[in-house]
């Protein structure tokens, strides 16, 4: 998968890309990430990419020209991309969406800043508009990393055990069951006996019951 991230702060994203799952996926060659600063597409003498909103109001709005040019140059270079506009107005990101994105060959993620985008940017391309939750961040860089990591860890061969994503929370409608490792007792809390029994059927049943209990508990408290 190729993922191009359009951002005003590539240096804020870069260190995270080098670590853990995203770093491994790139080393393996499963993932290629390109950071594009759309300020480089500004034709303004001061490299401005934002301006005051028509009609007044607080803050600054991202201008259309540098973003149109950056998106078009990206697609000329890499080919047509599945284009994601990160914005609080978008559909809330889910594991199902992460799976759908993991099937794409090329992703383009556009990170906003300030008060957001000139509406013509929204209208000018076929965006998949994604919000990572019902809250407002200062920019789209963290949302881009959230979306990319959730999709990249589902790419074949990226996780150590190829089966593990299927067993995780949200994959089968259930939250994950509780896990324990050594020591058997820690600060007075014992590992449930069944997990030490060696009885695989009983372990499986206990895990399923726990997953059901936790899922029910969360939906009751929603
Ligand atoms: C301060 S926000 C703009 C908020 C916008 N004025 C609004 O009220 O919807 C600046 C940028 O951060 C990003 N952003 C903030 N919160 C986000 C969220 N929950 N999900 C995805 N992107 C978000 C978007 O790219 C957005 O354009």
Ligand 1 cavity residues, CB under 6 Å: 86-89, 111-113, 115-116, 131-133, 135-140, 143
On whether both 8 and 87 belong to a single domain, the answer is yes
Residue 160's pLDDT is 81
On whether both 203 and 114 belong to a single domain, the answer is no
On whether both 7 and 83 belong to a single domain, the answer is yes
Query: What CATH number corresponds to the domain at position 60?
Result: 3.40.1280.10
On whether both 17 and 84 belong to a single domain, the answer is yes
Q: Please give the average pLDDT of every successive group of 10 residues along the chain, which has 222 residues.
A: 98 97 97 98 97 97 98 98 98 98 98 98 98 98 98 94 74 92 98 98 98 95 84
| Residues comprising the chain, all counted | 222
Residue 46's pLDDT is 97
On whether both 83 and 11 belong to a single domain, the answer is yes
Which mutation among 89, 114, 137, 147 tests ligand 1's pocket best, with the greatest number of atoms within 8 A of CB? 137
On whether both 90 and 193 belong to a single domain, the answer is no
Residue 163's pLDDT is 58
Is 163 within a domain? no
Please state the φ and ψ torsions of residue 70, each to the nearest 5 degrees. -65, -40
Give the number of the atom of ligand 1 that is nearest the alpha carbon of residue 132.
20
On whether both 191 and 128 belong to a single domain, the answer is no
On whether both 197 and 126 belong to a single domain, the answer is no
On whether both 45 and 9 belong to a single domain, the answer is yes
Retrieve residue 115's tokens: 């008060």
Residue 125 to residue 210: CA distance in whole angstroms = 45
Residue 77 to residue 107: CA distance in whole angstroms = 13
Is 161 within a domain? no
Domain of residue 13, residue span: 2-152
Please count the structural domains in the chain: 2
Which mutation among 12, 50, 63, 86 tests ligand 1's pocket best, with the greatest number of atoms within 8 A of CB? 86
On whether both 128 and 196 belong to a single domain, the answer is no
Residue 222's pLDDT is 81
The answer to whether the beta carbons of residues 32 and 152 sit under 8 Å apart is no
The answer to whether the beta carbons of residues 141 and 13 sit under 8 Å apart is yes
Residue 104 to residue 95: CA distance in whole angstroms = 15
Is 148 within a domain? yes
> Between β-strands 50-51 and 61-62, what pairing exists: parallel, antiparallel or unpaired?
antiparallel
Burial class (CB in 10 A: 0-12, 13-18, 19+), 11: exposed
Burial class (CB in 10 A: 0-12, 13-18, 19+), 9: middle
On whether both 142 and 35 belong to a single domain, the answer is yes
Instruction: Identify the residue whose C-alpha is closest to ligand 1 atom 25.
Output: 112
Distance of CA 126 to the CA centre of its chain: 19
Residue 213's pLDDT is 97
On whether both 131 and 208 belong to a single domain, the answer is no
Q: What angle do CA 123, 124, 129 make, to 5 degrees?
A: 55
Is 164 within a domain? no
Is 53 within a domain? yes
């Amino acid at each position: 998968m190729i993922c191009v991230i359009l951002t005003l702060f590539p240096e804020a994203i870069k260190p995270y890309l080098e670590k853990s799952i995203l770093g491994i996926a790139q080393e393996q060659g499963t993932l290629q990430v390109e950071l594009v600063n759309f300020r480089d597409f500004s034709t303004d003498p001061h490299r401005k990419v934002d301006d005051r909103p028509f009609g007044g109001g607080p803050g600054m709005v991202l201008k259309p020209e540098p973003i149109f040019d950056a998106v078009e140059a990206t697609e000329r270079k890499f080919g047509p991309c599945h284009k994601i506009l990160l914005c609080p107005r978008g559909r809330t990101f889910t594991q199902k969406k992460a799976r759908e994105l993991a099937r794409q060959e090329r992703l383009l993620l556009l990170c906003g800043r300030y008060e957001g985008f000139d509406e013509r940017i929204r209208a000018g391309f076929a965006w998949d508009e994604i919000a990572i939750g019902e809250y407002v961040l200062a920019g789209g860089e963290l949302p881009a990393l959230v979306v990319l990591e959730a999709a990249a860890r589902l790419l074949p061969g990226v996780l150590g055990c190829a089966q593990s994503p299927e067993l995780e929370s949200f994959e089968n409608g259930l939250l994950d069951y509780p896990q324990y490792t050594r020591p058997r007792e820690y600060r007075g809390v014992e590992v449930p006996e069944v997990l030490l029994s060696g009885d695989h059927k009983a372990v499986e049943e206990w895990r399923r019951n726990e997953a059901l209990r936790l899922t029910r508990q969360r939906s009751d408290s929603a």
